[in-house]
Amino acid sequence: MSSPDLTDTLPQPRTATDRKTTDRPPGRATAATLRADSVSAWFADHKVLDRVSLTMPAHQVTALIGPSGCGKSTFLRILNRMHELIASASLSGRVMLDDEDIYDRGRRITHARRQIGMVFQKPNPFPAMSIYDNVVAGLKLNAIKATRDGRDDLVEECLTKAGLWNEAKDRLRQPGGALSGGQQQRLCIARSLAVRPRVLLMDEPCSALDPTSTRRIEETIAELKSEVTIVIVTHNMQQAARVSDTCAFFLASHGTPGVIVEHGDTEAMFNLPQDERTSDYVNGRFG
């Protein structure tokens, strides 16, 4: 998957009627339960997901697993309305953030994406921007004003949560693109956290990283779930077993749209799966 444009990565500037400014960064958000109710998705006439229902509990890590082409990444993008960026895309069903439908006609797309952040497969910091400016970029795009002290505190807080502060604190004005791949991914996590999301979506965040960087990202995920709900797509079964509390196994076969074969507690999914296809997948017999 290629790195998305700026419009994909961060919430877009608000319109004049939507704009509201403050003199400090947003307060700490509360993790939310995310729920998909009978979600089906199409690209033009091609149906890629069929009536997918899944609850992703607050303060937990939910892993989406399954072979390539089964709709995991499409489902993840639906969860913060990125599906709409593709002209031929359509969907049915609901996505509920606690008890609010993020696709409700009266709900602004910018508001949904601010509450439900995204970290992509390939690290995509703004390479010419400093580490500091990368972290606060979301404030500017949301027209959130903050004092210098407020921004300084926010940068330290978010880089600390992303496990990058000790490595970056002495070079905050250096370009984000000068960091290593693993550090860039943690910078992207810090950038997402700066606007106080309630849910953080991660699309194979470690697939391009070395084992040491992968371990650090996994440690970061474990630390973050006390504050945000996390949904992660991964093809690494060991990673899914290590980092997630609950798991959903997607499968598409013989040209049919993707469905959830089984979902539930991760330990049970790996050790006592109810469906033979789940057992075959998690034990590496296909996929």
Q: Which residue has the tokens 């599906």?
A: 83
Query: What is the domain extent for residue 229?
Result: 30-127+198-282
So what's the pLDDT on residue 10? 42
Please indicate whether residue 190 or residue 17 has the higher confidence score (pLDDT): 190
Residue 211: C-alpha distances to residues 64, 215, 218, 280 (Å) = 21, 6, 10, 26
Tens of pLDDT, residue by residue over 50-63, are 999 999 999 999 99
**Residues 46 and 74 sit within 8 Å (Cβ to Cβ):** no
Q: Is the pLDDT of residue 5 over 70?
A: no
Tens of pLDDT, residue by residue over 270-281, are 999 999 999 999
Tokens in use for 198?
A: 């309630």
What are the start-end ranges of the H helices in 194-232?
211-224
Tokens in use for 31?
A: 């993790």
Q: Is the pLDDT of residue 7 over 80?
A: no
For 216, other C-beta atoms within 10 Å of its C-beta total 20
Residue of 124, 207, 131, 214 whose CA lies nearest to 166? 131
So what's the pLDDT on residue 14? 38
Tens of pLDDT, residue by residue over 113-170, are 889 999 999 999 998 899 999 999 988 877 778 888 999 999 999 999 999 999 999 9
Residue 222 lies in a domain: yes
The pTM of this model reads 0.87
- Give the β-pairing of 34-43 and 229-233: unpaired
Residue 8 lies in a domain: no
**Residues 158 and 150 sit within 8 Å (Cβ to Cβ):** no
Q: Is the pLDDT of residue 19 over 60?
A: no
For 55, other C-beta atoms within 10 Å of its C-beta total 15
Tokens in use for 134?
A: 């990368």
DSSP state of 88: T
DSSP, collapsed to helix, strand or coil, labels residue 166 as helix
Tokens in use for 168?
A: 């970056």
Residue 226 lies in a domain: yes
Residue 186 lies in a domain: no
So what's the pLDDT on residue 223? 93
User: What strand order describes the sheet that includes 89-97?
Assistant: 46-56, 34-43, 89-97, 100-101
Residue 254 lies in a domain: yes
For 6, other C-beta atoms within 10 Å of its C-beta total 11
- 141, 142, 147, 153: CA torsion to nearest 10: -90
So what's the pLDDT on residue 25? 54
CATH number at residue 115: 3.40.50.300
Total domain count for the chain?
Answer: 1
**Residues 146 and 24 sit within 8 Å (Cβ to Cβ):** yes
Residues in the chain: 287
Please indicate whether residue 9 or residue 180 has the higher confidence score (pLDDT): 180
Residue 54 lies in a domain: yes
Residue 187 lies in a domain: no
Q: How far apart are CA 40 and CA 53, in angstroms?
A: 9
Q: How far apart are CA 248 and CA 164, in angstroms?
A: 30
Residue 34 lies in a domain: yes
